[in-house]
Structure 1
Amino acid sequence: MADTASTTDAKRGGKDAPPREPILKLVAKQGILIAFVLFMIGFALANSRFLDPENIMGVIRSSAILGVMALGVTFVVISGNLDLSVGSMMSFSTIVVLDLHDKIGPALAIPAMFALTLCLGAFIGFLVGYLKLNSLIVTLGMLSAIHGLTLTWSGGQNMDIADKSGTWFSVFGQGEMLGIPVPILLFALLAATLGVVLARTPFGRKVYAVGGNGTAATFSGIRRARVVFLCYLVSAFCVACAGLIQASRSLGSQNTVGQGMELEVLAAVILGGASLLGGSGAIYKTVIGVLILGFIQNGLLLIGLQFYAQYVVTWIIIILAVWLDIGAKRGRFLSPIA
């Protein structure tokens, strides 16, 4: 019996186990907050302008579009799936609303764009949820398909609003309310609303259940396909909001404006602690992940590094985030096989 106990102790790490467990729990629960504070302190020490209120407001404003998209993808990832089509879908929604603005007016162009974008999200949700196709393959294919649809819609041309001075459409990207830019207000409103939906409603609990153990959720009476379908609708709605802000900010756009953003969005969601295995994550942590990416990019520029350095740093941060996530779940940071 003593030998068995000592063997079990050795497997669990022996005397090292007690100190390790609190660290793992702290990393699993508050790792993103710790990382955010450390990044802020580091960049503030490197450059005094980093904590300037104007700089902070500028970073949050520039991160709003990415953040709005990340809010929707958080639902998809927690449900145990991926969405790599959001970048192309954002390009599509931006081009559509700009094109329809001059043809039918902004009052009709905005709901028309939302309807078309939601149709794309519904189609993806149907393929992944009801037909049970692999979300990585489906959304990777839709990335190319939607890009082609955008080029077809625009005729391969960039899109601009004819009369930029005589439209109220600019309020979504350029306006301010109580001294706060409207994109930041929209980001905060969506984050608060979706945060409540995910954390305080039956639908939110179903999303966690489906992502944590889809089979058990099905046997519990949860309609798994419907939950996945609705998660992709939420993602598409957020993409449409991001497209609206993007189109309104410049009143014109390239037809590839969202190209590559799907990886930044996924990076923000992962940094926020949402597991790629599904079942864990939170909206407020995704917001922090978005801000970390935004402040990293800003901080690197302020300390004099070239803009392309941020791609390497972002890659390193994603690897660290995934490593910490897996380590926190299996109870050790190094693989027992190694």
Structure 2
Amino acid sequence: MATLTKQKIGGILARQGILIAFAIFMIAFTLASAKFLSVDNVFSVVRSSAILGVMALGVTFVVISGNLDLSVGSMMSFSTIVVLDLHDKIGPALAIPAMFAMTLCLGAIIGFLVGYLRLNSLIVTLGMLSAIHGLTLTYSGGQNMDIADKEGTWFSVFGQGSALGIPVPILIFVGLAAFLGVVLARTPFGRKVYAVGGNGTAATFSGIRRARIVFQCYLISSACVATAGLIQASRSLGSQNTVGQGLELEVLAAVILGGASLLGGSGTIFKTVIGVLILGFIQNGLLLLGLQFYVQFVVTWVIIILAVWLDIAAKRGKLLSPIA
């Protein structure tokens, strides 16, 4: 009986290790600061995490398919600058679809190189990171972008608006997470993504068009980046041309923190959302504790490594690798 109970507990830890780690962090910060779980603070954290979260949703598809996307930060800068620039030139109603189309083109290029030409995704997206950054600087002339008439535009609703008392960025994040979660978990396309990431060769022999699936995953990722760029541009109605610089590492950290494997074939949208929230609440908790920003960077990454380690240890049943 004791052995059976131990096995059940071990199974729960293996499946839900990251959720348990999240609960522990939340309890610790709640005890440290009375403001941590206030409604205003929770809304503030989720709202500020929405941009990172929307990007992470798309990257989840890419990682599960067995690839990487390090271009999302530069791509978000590009989409933000483009939609702000086109807002004053052709109006927001046309600027938004034009920006989405241009961002999807960038995703299609990456998808073609990785999916159809079978190039290494790390090399391709690392190269595209620099290329898109250069494209953004060229497009903007090295200048930051601002909307001329900030008071008379409905464009601000995506970043500053609210519905039923809930900020629109949160609604976009939650709605997109629910939709993509269903796509990944409940559709034939989602099963093909897992199959390609788990064993690409076996998936090909099973009749799955690997190149097409990888291509589509990068399109999904670029669409999510465009959505994040829209929220970012709408939030401040102006932006630096490097606004997304460095976000690719935070996005990847959130996806991996949520349990997705860099080897592909595993991960869920729900746990990616948990990974995003862990990052957001850790940073917020450290801020409430009054730590300097440079100390927060160190502590944040130590906590992330600890959470991932505990999750992996729970799955294998040992704190250290059996090989060590």
Query: TM-score normalized by structure 1?
Result: 0.91
1:177 aligns with 2:156: no
Q: How does 1:191-202 map to 2 (within 5 A)?
A: 191-202=177-188
Structure 1 residues 93 and 280: alpha-carbon distance in aligned structure 2, compared to 1, 3 A threshold: same
1:227 counterpart residue number: 213
Q: How does 1:1-338 map to 2 (within 5 A)?
A: 22=8, 25-324=11-310, 326-327=312-313, 332-338=318-324
Q: What secondary structure, in the 3-state scheme, does the structure 2 residue paired with 1:222 have?
A: coil
Q: Which amino acid aligns with 2:56?
A: A
Unaligned runs of 5+ in 2: none
Structure 1 residues 130 and 216: alpha-carbon distance in aligned structure 2, compared to 1, 3 A threshold: same
C-alpha displacement of 1:131: 0.8
Q: Which amino acid aligns with 1:104?
A: I
- Taking the aligned partners of 1:177 and 1:305, their CA distance within structure 2 comes to 34
- Taking the aligned partners of 1:224 and 1:326, their CA distance within structure 2 comes to 29
- Taking the aligned partners of 2:207 and 2:152, their CA distance within structure 1 comes to 54
- Taking the aligned partners of 1:320 and 1:213, their CA distance within structure 2 comes to 29
- Taking the aligned partners of 1:24 and 1:149, their CA distance within structure 2 comes to 50
Q: What is the identity percentage for the equivalent residue pairs of Structure 1 and Structure 2? A: 84
Could you tell me whether the CA contact under 8 Å between 1:83 and 1:136 is conserved in 2?
A: yes
Structure 1 residues 83 and 314: alpha-carbon distance in aligned structure 2, compared to 1, 3 A threshold: farther
Q: What secondary structure, in the 3-state scheme, does the structure 2 residue paired with 1:51 have?
A: coil
C-alpha displacement of 1:324: 4.5
Higher relative contact order (CA 8 A, sep 6+): 2
Could you tell me whether the CA contact under 8 Å between 1:270 and 1:321 is conserved in 2?
A: no
C-alpha displacement of 1:315: 2.3
Could you tell me whether the CA contact under 8 Å between 2:21 and 2:307 is conserved in 1?
A: no
Which deviations, in whole Å up to 9, do the C-alpha atoms of 1:139-170 show, x marking residues without a partner? 11111110000000000000000110111100
- Taking the aligned partners of 1:24 and 1:218, their CA distance within structure 2 comes to 35
Structure 1 residues 189 and 156: alpha-carbon distance in aligned structure 2, compared to 1, 3 A threshold: same
- Taking the aligned partners of 2:125 and 2:303, their CA distance within structure 1 comes to 24
C-alpha displacement of 1:33: 1.0
Structure 1 residues 318 and 55: alpha-carbon distance in aligned structure 2, compared to 1, 3 A threshold: closer
Question: What root-mean-square deviation, in Å, do the aligned CA atoms of Structure 1 and Structure 2 show?
Answer: 1.7
Structure 1 residues 39 and 158: alpha-carbon distance in aligned structure 2, compared to 1, 3 A threshold: same
Could you tell me whether the CA contact under 8 Å between 1:195 and 1:282 is conserved in 2?
A: yes
